[in-house]
Amino acid sequence: MLGRRVVCNGNRESWREVFSRDSIIVWHFKSFSRKRQRIRRWSTDPTAPPVLRFTSSHQTEAWLTGLRERAPDH
């Protein structure tokens, strides 16, 4: 937005667009609760594929560290 670079499909974000009803940021916050509920359902459904659900940055970092430790050396 600040550098007016093309970000997606030729679009450039502006301050006005960030706070408009069509903004991806506004959409994210409006849909957050619905997406959170969906992920919780998926993570507790025994018939669904496994879901990794991180509730903190520490959990995410620990998972990523584990991946790095198990990765074959290149």
Q: How many other CB atoms are found less than 10 A from the CB of residue 13?
A: 18
pLDDT at 1: 64
Using DSSP, how many helices (H) and how many strands (E) does the chain show? 3, 0
Domain ranges of the chain: 15-70
pTM above 0.75, yes or no: no
From first to last of its 74 residues, the chain has per-residue pLDDT tens of: 667 777 777 777 777 877 788 888 888 899 999 999 999 999 999 999 999 999 999 999 999 999 999 988 75
Contact partners, residue 12, CB within 8 Å, separation at least 6? 1, 4, 5, 6
Going by C-alpha positions, the residue among 38, 13, 39 that lies closest to residue 24 is 13
pLDDT at 19: 78
pLDDT at 5: 76
Residue whose entry in the numeric block shows the structure tokens 């502006």: 14
pLDDT at 11: 76
